[in-house]
Structure 1
């Protein structure tokens, strides 16, 4: 079984250094591996290393796997954010698939969850989100990428509740 790396974050590295220095100065011998782990995590407010590990495991159980492993391409995020004007309207449909997908996630985020829309309502909602006047394209792409579900005759639409990827979440954050 491979070990999952447990990132350690120190809110104030100066305070961490002072605490470690004081503890090491008071120690009679050089601390062992486990003692050093305990010193590090105690300096950040944990009771001991087991407490730190339990908190880490609890966060891992709650976070979706793709949020833990996905790298956010900030360059792509910046390109996508530039496709939206100051009012949050999508100004043009990007050529690159990866950028299109992030734009679709933004459109998805603006659809009310657990609400049924008829074709006119979803089209009107999408018309209010972009400037290039092709709500049918957006509606079709959202359905094709399983971000919305639609009936076979296309009369009802509903947002699919799936967690967006980390890059999409970063785009949401920057557009706010």
Structure 2
């Protein structure tokens, strides 16, 4: 009796999947990002899912939800090519005396350490306190104070909060329960000041 030859099975070729797209997330202010993320997590009762994490992270970075971030990221290569082909930017605009004076009111960590005497210098210094607030977010008065306390060192968030509202950097509800950042367009002098101030904060 002849035994049948054993059958062999050819292993199937694994299906190659295209690599997942990699989307880089740029965070302008890491300290502010951490605060925003912590505030968002404090309102969740259960551990976030993977998608919820993505939404929390992109929102804390000021990029909206994850889908909005992806929509912007898809156009990033074209933007990068355009930037690479653009001519070199002109040298930074020199600051005025008022802007330079405002910058001296901030320490090496970018915190306002004294309130300027001159109104023109105060106005420019307030731009530095407006900067860390996130657009399209509502803050309680307590949250505004906490953020101001992070970026100033003389213990008077109430005055700074009031000045930000009066100078139209922040708006609030009539009962002062909610505050939000207003759109403000800096001139070239203020842009130079903000660029120098960011340099202090990013050097940490």
Assess same fold via TM > 0.5.
yes
Aligned partner of 2:150 in structure 1 is 128
Shift of 1:72: 6.5
Normalising by the residue count of structure 2, what TM-score does the alignment of the two structures yield? 0.50
- How far apart, in 2, do the equivalents of 1:162 and 1:172 lie? 13
Match of 1:158 in 2: 180
Q: Write the deviation string for residues 24-59 of structure 1: whole angstroms up to 9, x where unpaired.
A: xxxxxxxxxxxxxxxxxxxxxxxxxxxxxxxxxxxx
Q: How far has the Cα of 1:79 moved from its partner? A: 1.1
The one of 158, 162, 165 equivalent to 1:140 is: 162
In structure 2, the CA distance between the partners of 1:116 and 1:147, relative to structure 1 (3 Å rule), is same
Structure 1 stretches of 4+ with a deviation exceeding 6 A read none
* TM-score for the superposition, normalised by structure 1: 0.57
Contact 1:89 1:131 in 2 (8 A): yes
Q: Which runs of 5+ in 1 are unaligned?
A: 1-70
Higher helix share: 1
Provide the rounded CA distance (Å) in 2 between the counterparts of 1:162 and 1:129: 19
Residues 1:101 and 2:123 are matched in the alignment: yes
The residue number in structure 2 matching 1:35 is none
Q: 1:88 to 1:78 in 2, by over 3 A?
A: same
Kept after mapping to 2: 8 A contact 1:89/1:129: yes
Aligned length: 106
Structure 1 counterpart SS, 2:168: coil
Match of 1:92 among 110, 114, 125: 114
| Distance in 2 (alpha carbons) for counterparts of 1:75 and 1:126 | 25
Partner of 2:140: 118
The structure that has the greater radius of gyration is: 2
Give the Å deviation of 1:170: 1.0
Return the offset for 1:162: 2.1
The residue number in structure 1 matching 2:3 is: none
